[in-house]
Each structure stands twice: as C-alpha cells, then as structure tokens.
Amino acid sequence: MSSNDHLCGCHGSMQSCVSIVPIFNHLQPPQMETIMKAVRTRTFKKGESIYRAGDFSDTLYIVHKGKIKTYRLAESGKEYLVSVLHPGDFSGEYALFSESIHESYAETLEPSEICTIQRKDLQGILEKYPEVALKILGEFSRKLEQSEKQTAYFATERVESRIALYLADLQRQQGERLVKLPMSRKDLAAHLGTTPETVSRKLADLESGGYIRQHSPKKLEILDLDGLLA
C-alpha cells in the first residue's frame, strides 16, 4: 500500500470529485459541502491495486482522475474483466447495502485519483438526503440492465457478434467514427470471454469484411455500423 492518503482539502482551486459524480452533482452547493467532508482522496500509480477479492468492503470508490479496471478471477486463474471505470464512475457499491467482502479486484490502468466514502458516512448521507438514494437506485437499475444485457450476449451471441456489439457500444459512447479502445487485446478478451488471439482474428475478419478499419491496435474506424450489427 504505497498510496497516499489525505483528507480532501480541495475546496479552492481543485475540483472535488463530488461535483462530477452523477449521484451527487444534482445537489445544492451547501449540501455538497457536507458530503465533501466525508470524502478522502487517494492517489495511485499505474497498475496499483485498490482492493482485492477477500478484502473487507466498507468503502465506496469514485474515480476522479485516471482509469481503473475491476475484474474477477475464476479458480482456474482465468480473468473476467467486469468494467473499466472513468472519471465520475464508482465502484464498491454492493457491499454498501448487503455483503461486506469483495468478490472482485480493482486496480488502476493509469495513474489515478480515487475519492472514497466510508459506508457509515454514506449511510448518514442517505438518511439526510433521500434524493441521493433515489439517484443511486437509478444508477443501480441502469447497471443491472446493462449487466443483464451483457450476460444475454454471452448466452446468445458468438464471439464475433460480441466484439461487434462492443465496438458499436463504444462508438455510441464516444460519438465518433474513429473510436479509441480503452484497453489491450488481453483485457478486451477478458471482458468478452475469449482470448487475445481470437480478438485479433475476429477484428481482422471484420476489417476484411469492410466493416471496420484498424489504424493502430487501439484506434479503430467504424465504417459500417449497421453491417456490424447485422
């Protein structure tokens, strides 16, 4: 644990995480102030671990700067990459209301700043500001829908379709023909339930089919979105 803990004294020039998170950013400034008091900021180097499976879980983690990935490990050692979190995204949610042991791992993909709120502080916040609970409910239901859809893809689509659907989703998020993959082939494979080799091959197939163009391993151009999803 070489990370750097300190109270967040960033009420001045520095922008607090609180104001960029969907679950808090609708609040009035004075309310935000209250929440900021419960927030601590930690900085991490690239590739550092934030939490691991088996760790006691009583903290909500909000990404302020950087990029973190959460993943699970099967007994076989095979990895499933759950998500890549960008600034404003949060994790650690489950344990806040029920279980208290992490089943997944979280580590930074880049140097990052993470804001944390302790469970007991969050519970106080929820009691004081019930509208935050409603925001979190909305966020949870979105994640649940997303997770269910992802599972459905695994159950019903073959690898090439899962890749195509992933690319289409990325395109939708980023809004440009030229999309930037936020992770390596290995991580992408771990997210889509396949192998780096197969990802390579299927991307090559999509390219020779005229659906995409690979400018570099992480820069892809979507040429035919409809064809991709057909």
Partner DNA sequence: TCTCATTCTTGACTGCCATCAATTTCTTTT
Partner DNA sequence: AAAAGAAATTGATGGCAGTCAAGAATGAGA
Residue 16 is encoded by which pair of tokens? Answer: 């607090």
Calpha distance 21→8 (Å, rounded): 16
Q: Closest Cα to residue 107, out of 74, 73, 84, 140?
A: 84
Q: What residue 177 binds from DNA, a copy of itself, none (CB within 5 to 8 A, per partner kind)? A: none
The item of a copy of itself, DNA, none sharing an interface with residue 65, based on CB under 5 to 8 Å by kind, is: none
**Beta-bridge mates of residue 6:** 41
Angstrom distances, CA of residue 164 to CA of 32, 45, 85, 228:
41, 32, 21, 6
Distance in Å, CB of 37 to DNA, minimum: 37
Contacted by 199, from a copy of itself, DNA, none: CB < 5 to 8 Å by type: DNA
Q: Cα–Cα distance between 65 and 43 in angstroms, integer?
A: 9
| 217 contacts DNA (rule: CB under 7 A) | yes
Residue 216 contacts DNA per CB under 7 A: yes
Q: For residues 80, 87, 38 and 26, what is the CA-based torsion angle, rounded to 10 degrees?
A: -120
Q: Which does 197 bind (CB under 5 to 8 A by kind): DNA, a copy of itself, none?
A: DNA
Residues 61-100, one symbol each (x = binds a copy of itself by CB under 8 A, - = not), give: -----------x-x-x-xxx-x----------xxxxxxx-
Query: Virtual CA dihedral for 22, 26, 32, 36, nearest 10 degrees?
Result: 0
Per-residue binding letters, 136-175, with DNA (x by CB under 7 A): ----------------------xxx---------------
Contact flag: residue 199 with DNA (CB under 7 A): yes
Structure tokens at 46: 């690239």
Does position 186 interact with DNA (CB under 7 A)? The reply is yes
Give the Cα separation of 119 and 179 in Å (integer). 37
Residues that bind a copy of itself (CB under 8 A): 72, 74, 76, 78-80, 82, 93-99, 103-104, 126-127, 130, 133-134, 136-138, 140-145, 147-152, 154-157, 190-193
